Every structure is written in structure tokens, then in C-alpha cells.
Amino acid sequence: MGDVAVEQSLRLEVDFNYGSREAVCLYPKSGHRRGFKPSIEVQFQAAGMKPHDGLAVVLFEPRCDLDDDGVVCDLEVAGILRKTDEGRWIATFHEGDRKWVPSVSN
């Protein structure tokens, strides 16, 4: 995903366990499952941005895992917002592009 301008993209805190190897689900886990989970909606509102299909974002999960040296890290990857045919929002990414970045609050 070298064409995604990571430093200029909205950073979205996500749960990488809610999705697949190359997509994270941004829609609610229950109900009609359209739109965004409240935690995602709040992030767009705080940034003053309108989501749209094809929007470049940076997906991250804070304090997600330990690296090989035992340092607590955030998982981060460039992604693209997608709206499925069912009206559900996901963000796709390339699994091999994921990075572990030492957490600020180690």
C-alpha cells in the first residue's frame, strides 16, 4: 500500500480481533450492523471528517502486543475504508504492511 499517505491520514483506533487477516470491521457487532460502531463514529466526528468509500486511514490498536524484545507495542497499518454491498463499513489493509510501534505509554 505504498500509495497511501500514512502521515496525512486519519488515525482510527480499531479492534483487529473484529475482522479478518486483511480487513477490520468498523460496523456494530449487533443490531442492524450498518453504519459505524459508536467508537469509530466518535473518532470521525472529533476529526471533523466525513467517511467515504476509498478514504485512506491509519488503523491502530494501542498496546496490542509485545515485540520480540518484550516491549509493549501498538499495531499500526495503512488501510482503506470500504462500504460493503450490505451497507457495512470495513477497512482493508495488507497483512504484510502491519507494523509494531513501541507504545508511548510503556
Tell me the pLDDT of the chain (106 aa) as tens digits.
Answer: 444 444 468 999 999 999 999 999 999 888 778 889 999 999 999 999 999 999 999 999 999 888 888 889 999 999 999 999 988 999 999 999 999 899 986 5
Contacts of the segment 80-87: beta carbons below 8 A, 24+ positions apart: 80/1, 80/4, 80/54, 80/55, 80/56, 81/26, 81/51, 81/52, 81/53, 81/54, 81/55, 81/57, 82/23, 82/53, 82/54, 83/53, 86/33, 86/34, 87/34, 87/35
Give CA angle at 77 (14, 84), nearest 5°.
Answer: 60
Give 27's Cβ-side CA count (13 Å radius): 16
Put simply, whether the predicted model's pTM sits higher than 0.85 gets the answer no
Residue ranges per domain, the chain?
6-102
* Ramachandran angles phi, psi of 45, nearest 5°: -60, -45
